[in-house]
Amino acid sequence: MAPLAWANPWSEVDIPASGPARAIGEASAGCVRGARMLPPEGAGYVVMHLERNRYWGHPTLIEAIRSLGHDIAHGLGLMHVGDLGMSRGGPM
């Protein structure tokens, strides 16, 4: 049997679905329309494992992470962001 990552066509999609932002389904196996990319680096944060292409999320999530990073940038150090989601969501 092929490893789950290879059997998952979701991981091959690298652009978000167009349209208004909307989360659809369950957190562990849903999808997202209108996802935004979290830039690899920003004030107070850095995205880890860029090769996994799991730095996409609903615009509200992206803004929350950027805002939190900005708030902690000068007091707590660097926040490491590991896994948000793929460009169109999909199974974890």
pLDDT digits (tens, 9 = 90+) for 51-90: 888 999 999 999 999 999 999 998 888 999 998 988 888 7
Residue 3 clears pLDDT 70, i.e. is over it: no
Q: Would residue 75 count as lying in a domain?
A: yes
pLDDT tens digits, one per residue of 13-27: 778 888 999 989 887
Q: Is residue 22 domain-resident?
A: no
Structural domain containing residue 90 = 34-92
DSSP string, 29-77: T-EEES-EEPPSEETTEEE--GGG---EE-HHHHHHHHHHHHHHTTTT-
Domain assignment present for 54: yes
Q: Are the C-beta atoms of residues 70 and 17 closer than 8 Å to each other?
A: no
Asked whether residue 91 is domain-assigned, the answer is yes
Tell me what pLDDT residue 42 has: 96
Give yes or no for a contact between 22 and 54, defined as CB atoms under 8 angstroms apart. Answer: no
- Phi–psi pair at 25, nearest 5 degrees: 90, -160
Within-domain flag for 27 = no
Q: From CA 58, how far away is CA 55, in angstroms rounded?
A: 10
**Confidence tier at 4 by pLDDT (50, 70, 90):** low
Q: What is the mean pLDDT of residues 40-60?
A: 94
Question: How many independent structural domains does the chain possess?
Answer: 1
**6-10, 39-43, 76-80: segment of lowest average pLDDT:** 6-10
User: 28: number of CA atoms within 13 Å, CB side?
Assistant: 0
